[in-house]
Amino acid sequence: MSFKKDEETGLGAYYNNKTTVLQEARVFNESPISPRKCRALLTRIVYLLYLGETLGTQEATTLFFSTTKLFQHKDAALRQMLYLAIKELSGVAEDVIMVTSSIMKDMQPNSEVIYRPNAIRALCRITDASMMQGLERFFKTAIVDRNASISSAALVSSYHLYPAAKDVIKRWVNEAQEAINAKTSGSLFGVSSGSGGGFLGYGNQQQQDKFQPPPSTSYITQYHALGLLYYIRQQDRMAITRMVQQLGGKPGSSGTLKSPLAICMLIRYASKIMEEDPNMQRQMFELLEGWLRHKSDMVNYEAARAICEMRNVAPQQLTRPVSVLQVFLSSSKPTLKFAAIRTLSSLALTHPASVATCNVDMENLITDSNRSIATYAITTLLKTGNEASVDRLMKQISGFMTEISDEFKVIVVDAIRSLCLKFPAKQASMLSFLSGVLRDEGGYDFKRAVVEAIFDMIKFIQDCKETALAHLCEFIEDCEFTKLSVRILHLLGIEGPKTPQPTKYIRYIYNRVVLENAIVRAAAVSSLAKFGALVNDLAVKKSIGVLLRRCLDDVDDEVRDRAALYLHTIDDAPLAETYVKDDTVFSLGALETQLVAYVNDPDASDEPFDVSSIPTVSREQAFQETARPSSLDTIAQPAARAAAGPAPVGPTAAQTKSAYAEQLAAVPEFAEYGTVLNSSSKPQALTESETEYVVTVVKHIFKEYVVFQFNVSNTLPDTVLEQVSALMIPNSEGLTENFIIPIPALTPATSPGTIYVSFSRDSPEEYALGSFQTSLKYVSKEVDPTTGEPEEEGYEDDYQVEEVEVGAADYIVPNYVNFSQEWERLGHGATATETFSLSALDSLKAACDSLIEVLNMEPLGGTEIPTSNSVHALTLSGLVTGGGGKVLARSRMTYSAGQGVTLELSVRAEKEAACQLVISAIGD
């Protein structure tokens, strides 16, 4: 019988009602027990819980202990259903541990019953860390059981219990290894084909006494055992590497593993090893190439995908995996075709030439009945094709855009977005396509993707700017998404005044003031003000003034306030420069951190909040910090890498510094230090990532102190480090050590640990620079492999790391400004000019990167990318901490093959000390 969920009314709704089910729970107390009635009621309970029905703690507890009375009956099917209900109720009910003894009777090693795996899974839900010592023997026996379902149940339960009982489950490595190496295993369901007992043992009362499971060919136990082994050894990179090499076997051989799922998991482990340890890349690559010849399509695809997603993969290494994926493109299985074309689409972003060999096969997929496959085929061809094929592909795309979902429409639009920049000569046809789909029905993500693509064309292709702006004006006439309307109005305010006929956009903008909601009206007022401030035509300024005065009667206060502000500023050049033309905003992360510190400091209220110490960023930078990554950025990300990491967008520099400030505030020794003026934007590595001890340092600048934060990781699984401290010997004067906060004990499980070393600034008004010879001091103790405890006595040792330097970059915060305006303003302040010869640098790009890194200043106007190979000018802006004020630098540089880079550095600052700080950073 089939039925729709939304038609489940009347008797069906009453039958599956929570109240009805709880009332019918009386059937569990009947004598004798009716297995059939109890199974049906348990099924309804689990069904309700799966639908999201919630039970109160008291209801769940009463129901849970009612079901436990069913342990008196020996019906196998009832017992299996009982365990399923216990698992679902155990998370809500109280005192569930009371049923442990009943469950343990069913999981005895000599108990050959069909529901033994169910008992193991249920026990996993109700047990805790304190009981694991007593259950260890049962789980070890179950892991090596011949029956695949019993072994798998024990392995999966161990996996879920590992976070709560790591020390106990770590001792089960040998059993898990034995489960991987088992040659044969019992049936997954544990039912003999000749038992005649019905599906899963229903109606067979005698089967509980004894059954002989036939051998299974699934080898699912290997998959579960491999997952548990990796979970136990994940902190030991060498052990993981050995495991992959042992289980993978020699290149070309079948190896120990028979389960395709287990081999796929092993491939992912091998990929992770290659990513973390470049020295193992050759050995792991040979294993991956061997799995390309496996008899399972699943393994072939996983190996091919892993090679395609390798970092810095060479074109010659892609030949065989691309051939495997090319074969899958002509497969009769839609899943294989989809997987292959999706991987090739990702690869085409970085290696279009390697994917181009599959163009003929992908052409055949354009007409595939599965539109998801056809979408990927066309977008991949767009990336690998030439300029001549663009028009033909665009026509084919237009034919089925209405037949695919918004998710795939976004993929198509993002592919065209990248194509616009690749073939700017085809901008007319692509812009026509984008404007057409902009008028089609679609959700916010789809329309946002189209608008972003048109924005890119306006930014990078000057020939299409006016046409693209016209299409956007038409779109906002009937746009239902407020966010998009606001962004388009902002863009019109920036680009419209620069066009030959700016007046033709004013009508579209003012229509938004008349017809839209308050948010869009406010954005339209700001956009109109930009036309009034940036267009030099007096008639236009007068017209804008008339339109803004009409806005003074708006019902919304935000719109009225903006109109009043802009009416007073657009005719006053200095005010217009500050409030209309200025594109800078405060860095919200830094502003929040400073405000929190100001509010929490009881002595700070004596002085007003100093807004000049807050760094500024451009509006584009502020938007990039908060915007989600586009599909163009995420579509090529390896699935495993995207799932394993944190979020696709990492924390900004301001967010990182805010997190450091919170960490330091939690240390009592730093309570009197005041506000953190600056912290390193990223940790400085003091050791190689492959060494036994991995050390990084972060420098925190206070008004009168400098604190060094050492993050130390111990990668040796059989060693414990105690009383770990950092010894720092300064090579210059200016800083005096106060104290060290060591790490009491450091193991791989507790890594990374943090050491703090505090220094006083002898003269807080000066910027102390210099380097420190640094080494770790600790007591090393071996770990007893049997007990897992460290030895009582160890030996003192030290570990030399690279020098730690305090440079100008530690005192400067990047700060966005209007360079020409600020440079002119600081002309009467502190100035300095020096010439330097940088013979070691081999290009202007290297010189720009080096200057930005050494000074930690914000490059302005895109000057960080040289447009010439011989002459370039780099402009930089920063904010010196501790009241040092703004500092600007203009670097004029030339490059010649024989002499390297010659640099003329001009610096202007509000204070002389800040000016000398920048000059000394290059001179040293």
Sign of CA dihedral 63, 69, 71, 77: negative
Nearest to 315 by CA among 345, 357, 277: 357
Does pLDDT of 303 surpass 90?
yes
Across the chain, mean pLDDT equals 81
Give, rounded to a whole angstrom, the gap between the first and last alpha carbons of the chain: 83
What mean pLDDT do residues 475-503 have?
89
Percent of residues, the chain, with pLDDT higher than 70: 86
| More confident call, 140 vs 193 | 140
Helices (H) and strands (E) in the chain, counts: 40, 19
Specify whether the CB–CB gap between 400 and 366 falls below 8 A: no
Q: Who's near 451: CB < 8 A, 6+ residues apart?
A: 438, 472, 475, 484, 487, 488
Does pLDDT of 373 surpass 50?
yes
Residue with tokens 């009832």: 78
Domain 810-921: CATH architecture, name and number where available: 2-Layer Sandwich (3.30)
The pLDDT value given to residue 139: 87
Residue with tokens 């339109």: 547
Report the C-alpha gap between 568 and 561 in whole angstroms.
11
The pLDDT value given to residue 268: 92
The pLDDT value given to residue 324: 92
Sign of CA dihedral 166, 170, 176, 177: positive
Q: Which of 176-185, 522-531, 733-742 comes out lowest in average pLDDT? A: 176-185
Q: Who's near 828: CB < 8 A, 6+ residues apart?
A: none
Sign of CA dihedral 857, 860, 862, 868: negative
Q: What 8-state DSSP symbol labels residue 548? A: H
Percent of residues, the chain, with pLDDT higher than 90: 7
Q: Who's near 332: CB < 8 A, 6+ residues apart?
A: none
| pLDDT tier at 118, thresholds 50, 70, 90 | confident
Residue 862, by phi and psi: left (phi above 0), alpha (psi -120 to 50) or beta?
left
The pLDDT value given to residue 405: 79
Q: Which of 346-360, 495-509, 612-626, 685-699 comes out lowest in average pLDDT? A: 612-626
Residue with tokens 């190996």: 303
The pLDDT value given to residue 641: 40
What mean pLDDT do residues 406-421 have?
80
Q: Which of 41-45, 491-495, 606-610, 675-679 comes out lowest in average pLDDT? A: 606-610
| pLDDT tier at 892, thresholds 50, 70, 90 | confident
**94-104 confidence digits (pLDDT tens):** 888 888 888 88
| pLDDT tier at 208, thresholds 50, 70, 90 | very low
Does pLDDT of 645 surpass 50?
no
The pLDDT value given to residue 306: 92
| More confident call, 396 vs 771 | 771
Does pLDDT of 6 surpass 60?
no
Specify whether the CB–CB gap between 913 and 884 falls below 8 A: yes
Q: Which of 64-73, 337-346, 586-595 comes out lowest in average pLDDT? A: 586-595
| pLDDT tier at 581, thresholds 50, 70, 90 | low
Does pLDDT of 343 surpass 90?
yes
Does pLDDT of 210 surpass 60?
no
| DSSP symbols for 763-776 | STTS---EEEEEEE
The pLDDT value given to residue 628: 42
Does pLDDT of 607 surpass 90?
no
What mean pLDDT do residues 890-912 have?
85
Does pLDDT of 859 surpass 70?
yes
Domain 667-806 has CATH 2.60.40.1480: yes
The reported pTM is 0.60
What mean pLDDT do residues 701-712 have?
88
Q: Which of 51-55, 597-601, 818-822 comes out lowest in average pLDDT? A: 597-601
Most confident of 282-296, 632-646, 672-686: 282-296
| pLDDT tier at 613, thresholds 50, 70, 90 | low
| pLDDT tier at 202, thresholds 50, 70, 90 | very low
What mean pLDDT do residues 179-185 have?
67
Residue with tokens 């109240």: 19
Does pLDDT of 668 surpass 70?
yes
Q: Is 911 helix (H, G, I), strand (E, B) or coil?
A: coil
**677-698 confidence digits (pLDDT tens):** 888 878 888 888 778 888 888 8
Sign of CA dihedral 105, 111, 115, 120: positive
Buried b (16+ CB within 10 A) or exposed e, 574-609: eebeebbeeebeebbbbbebbeeeeeeeeeeeeeee
Report the C-alpha gap between 263 and 248 in whole angstroms.
8
| More confident call, 546 vs 791 | 546
What mean pLDDT do residues 769-792 have?
81
Does pLDDT of 514 surpass 90?
no
Does pLDDT of 454 surpass 50?
yes
Q: Which of 149-158, 251-260, 617-626 comes out lowest in average pLDDT? A: 617-626
Q: What 8-state DSSP symbol labels residue 52? A: T
Report the C-alpha gap between 166 and 152 in whole angstroms.
19
Does pLDDT of 83 surpass 70?
yes
The pLDDT value given to residue 463: 83
* Cβ neighbour number for residue 628 with a 10 Å cutoff: 12
**531-541 confidence digits (pLDDT tens):** 888 888 888 88
What mean pLDDT do residues 146-170 have?
87
Specify whether the CB–CB gap between 400 and 371 falls below 8 A: yes
| pLDDT tier at 519, thresholds 50, 70, 90 | very high
Query: 209: exposed, middle or buried (C-beta count within 10 Å: 0-12, 13-18, 19+)?
Result: exposed
Specify whether the CB–CB gap between 147 and 186 falls below 8 A: yes
